[in-house]
Amino acid sequence: MGKVCFHCDKDLEGRTDKKFCTSYCKSSYHYQKNKENEDSLFQKIDRQLKTNRKILKEFNKAGLATVRKEKLLDKGFDPNYFTHYWKNKENKVYLFCYEYGFMNLKEKYVLINWQKYMG
């Protein structure tokens, strides 16, 4: 019949709008929730980077390729997620997902592989 604490499941007495038995339970509960949100953001980014890497690898078997953007985007590629970038002598910026890079070229991507000299 009575309500129980959100954190420890103890019966709550008194005010019916209470959600926690103590302020300790309240802060523990919010701490845990925050942590879960951080974890899920981390996992989301992690998953997208790995997906991007897989797609770039798949389309760049030769080490250099030019591919229409839709082809990658259709597979789930998201250009907002990358691990680092490299600028070439012409100041063109390649974005990388680990060892596979891409550069925006109007409706296409130029794909390259990471090379030692880029470091």
Residues that bind Zn ion (CB under 5 A): 5, 7-8, 10, 21, 25
Please identify, using beta-carbon distances, which residue of 5 and 118 lies nearer to Zn ion.
5
User: How many beta carbons lie within 10 A of that of residue 109, not counting itself?
Assistant: 26
Distance CA 27, CA 11 (A): 18
CB of 14 to Zn ion, least distance (A): 13
Please identify, using beta-carbon distances, which residue of 21 and 112 lies nearer to Zn ion.
21
Please identify, using beta-carbon distances, which residue of 25 and 110 lies nearer to Zn ion.
25
Task: Give the chain's count of helices (H) and strands (E).
Answer: 2, 5
Q: State residue 100 phi and psi, 5-degree precision.
A: -115, 125
CB of 77 to Zn ion, least distance (A): 46
CB of 40 to Zn ion, least distance (A): 24
End-to-end CA distance of the chain: 65
